[in-house]
Amino acid sequence: MMKRLLSIALLTSSLTCAAQVPENLKDAFPQGTIFHQNVPYARDTIKKHLLDIYLPANAKGNIPLVIWVHGGGWMSNDKYADMGYMKNTIRTILEKGYGLASIDYRHSTTVKFPAQIQDCNQAVEFLYQHAADYKVDKNKFVLMGFSAGGHLASLLGLSNNSTIPDFYYNKKKPAFTIKAVLDFYGPSNFIMFYNSGTDVEAADEPISLLLGASALKRPDLAALASPITYVDKNDPPFFIVHGEKDESVPVAQSLVLKSSFDLNNVKNQITVVKGAPHYGPMFDVEEVRTKLFSFLDGTVK
């Protein structure tokens, strides 16, 4: 009974927060979208332990849920990041009858890895346990991440069929499974950054800040945090998007991940956007959206 009362309280309180969507993002959501915002997923007061849920106006229950994981080098941004240049994709997600959740996680400037993947696992577990309250199908969860968020989405999706106590806030493997992963230019292999021209020895380099040491000095940590480490034949399908001219995460990061999927017979599809940089509106064009939703509908629905 207490758990049910908590669920109702969270649901009711979050309904009052729709006005908190940043003004520049409001046109991304179709008219009638149901908003649940700043829902605490960890039963604490940490500001980065919040998530938002957006539901189609006609949601009646058991709808698939896309879970948005923002980028920012693991050190910046929040659950609204990357939405500004992906408005058409967000609108289409909701128009096609999917729910959308967006999660916050603690930055590497506050706490080191694996805190970030612990937060992601805890947020998704919250959504799993409260799926009925928010009219979503707990068996149809899709992860969608951008840059650092692409890394976290990939890491969560690929490690989900293993048991890695350090990845869970309470050392207990969560109950949920992942139906598919949509990975937008996320790093897959931290050691490979040694060959990318990035100064991996710099103390303020994002991967070093995340791990607490450079990938070269702590290859054990680099492997632990690299999604490619966990590729096996039982992984969920992956849809990968990367910019041809990405100056921050080399396209080789996605190409080697695809090769690993191919070797393990994991369903995957990659789109390299010609001339595209690390992020921006070139990833929200009709050509990419058409491929994405063909993949998503075919995998989830």
DSSP codes joined into one string, 71-91:
-STTTS--TTTT-TT-HHHHH
C-alpha–C-alpha distance, residues 105 and 116, integer Å: 6
Query: How far apart, in whole angstroms, are the C-alpha atoms of residue 141 and residue 123?
Result: 12
- Tokens standing for 156? 């969560």
Q: What would the two tokens of residue 171 be?
A: 């050392």
Residues contacting 127, CB < 8 A, separation 6+:
41, 51, 53, 65, 67, 101, 134, 136, 138, 141, 176
pLDDT tens per residue, range 90-112: 999 999 999 999 999 999 999 99
**Cis-peptide into 237, omega within 30 deg:** no
Type of residue found at 215 = A
Q: How far is CA 101 from the centre of its chain?
A: 10
Tokens of 187: 């790093």
HEC sequence for 199-229:
CCCCCCCHHHHHHCCCCCCCHHHHHHHCHHH
pLDDT at 199: 53
Give residue 161's Cα distance to chain centre: 17
Domain 31-300, classified CATH 1.10.1200.10, yes or no:
no
How confident is the model over 196-239, as pLDDT tens digits?
555 556 667 999 999 999 999 999 999 999 999 999 999 999 99
CA distances from 110 to 46, 105, 107, 258, 292 (A): 12, 11, 5, 32, 34
Helix, strand, coil percent content, the chain, rounded in steps of 5:
40, 20, 45
Residue with tokens 């897959």: 188
- Judge contact between 94 and 68, C-beta under 8 A: no
User: pLDDT, tens digit, for every residue of 39-65?
Assistant: 999 999 999 999 999 999 988 889 999
Cβ neighbours around 171 below 10 Å, total: 11
pLDDT, position 150 = 98
- The SS3 assignment for 158 reads helix
| Distance between CA atoms of residues 155 and 227, nearest Å | 4
Q: What is the mean pLDDT of the chain?
A: 92
| Sign of the C-alpha dihedral computed for residues 266, 66, 283 and 119 taken in this order | negative
Question: Highest mean pLDDT range out of 18-27, 31-40, 195-204?
Answer: 31-40
Sorting pLDDT into bands at 50, 70 and 90, what band is 12?
A: very low
Give the pairing of strands 99-103 and 136-146.
Answer: unpaired
Looking at residue 193, its pLDDT comes to: 81
Q: Where are the domains of the chain?
A: 31-300
